[in-house]
Amino acid sequence: MRTSTTLLGLVLMVGLTIVLGSPEAASQSEKPSSLVSQELEALFKADQADRNYESLSPEQIKAAKARDGERTLRVREIVQKETLETVDAYIHAAAVLQHGVTADDFLVAHVLATVAGYQGSPVGKWLAAATLDRYLQFVGRAQLFGTQGSKELFSKATISDTIRKLYCVLPLSEQRQGVSSRLTNCAQ
């Protein structure tokens, strides 16, 4: 247990260093924060517009995944070089990276969503759970919260529904395949 706690602490510290960067990197910021937030919002909206795979042809899905890759690269650049100052900026960046292609994308998305959750955002709390589940799935481990639809790799006994509720995730008994696992009335 102590090793797991120490490892989690190390992951969060490294992740926050990636997200927040060094003081030198902060002084090299290229854009005012309002422009960064606007760009992240536009990237987020484009990302969300590409999420309806069920109605797309195989060629359209391939094109959408290519756009995901382009957006992911840009968000990585922003996160490494710019200052994110609003909860929405953290959520928008995390949501785009949630559709990334590498384990690092999902882990950084988790760190960004966690920051938004710590700032009281119910969406940030849920997104922190979803990004962790996505990361765990990607590295071949069982998801904890059950946010990723597929319950093939899912450890139901690892955490309780009480913890799921703190992350604005529906109790297991209410989760259904293909339906959002986010609590819509999650209290801040």
Looking at the domain assignment, is residue 157 inside a domain?
A: no
173 conformational bin, left if phi > 0, alpha if psi -120 to 50, beta if neither: alpha
pLDDT one-digit tens code per residue, 77-113: 999 998 898 999 999 999 999 999 999 999 999 999 9
Mean pLDDT over each residue of the chain, to the nearest integer: 80
Examine residue 43 and state whether it is found in any structural domain, yes or no: yes
Residue 35 to residues 16, 18, 76, Cα–Cα distance (Å): 22, 21, 16
Does a structural domain hold residue 134? yes
Give the span between the Cα atoms of 38 and 108, in whole angstroms. Answer: 20
Question: Which residue in this structure is represented by tokens 């609003």?
Answer: 86
- Its domain, for residue 56, covers 32-141
With respect to residue 68, please indicate whether it lies within any of the assigned structural domains: yes
Mean pLDDT of 3-20: 41
Look up residue 175 and give its amino acid: Q
Instruction: Please report the pLDDT score of residue 185 as a whole number.
Output: 64
> Looking at the domain assignment, is residue 5 inside a domain?
no
pLDDT, one tens digit per residue, over 21-73 is 443 443 344 566 688 999 999 999 999 888 877 788 899 889 999 999 999 99
Contact 73, 100 (CB under 8 A): no
Please give the Cα distance from 50 to 62 (Å, whole number): 11
* Domain-located, residue 99: yes
Confidence of residue 2 (pLDDT cuts 50, 70, 90): very low
Counted domains in the chain: 1
- Asked if residue 152 lies in contact with residue 142, where contact means CB atoms within 8 angstroms, the answer is no
Specify if 12 maps to a domain. Answer: no
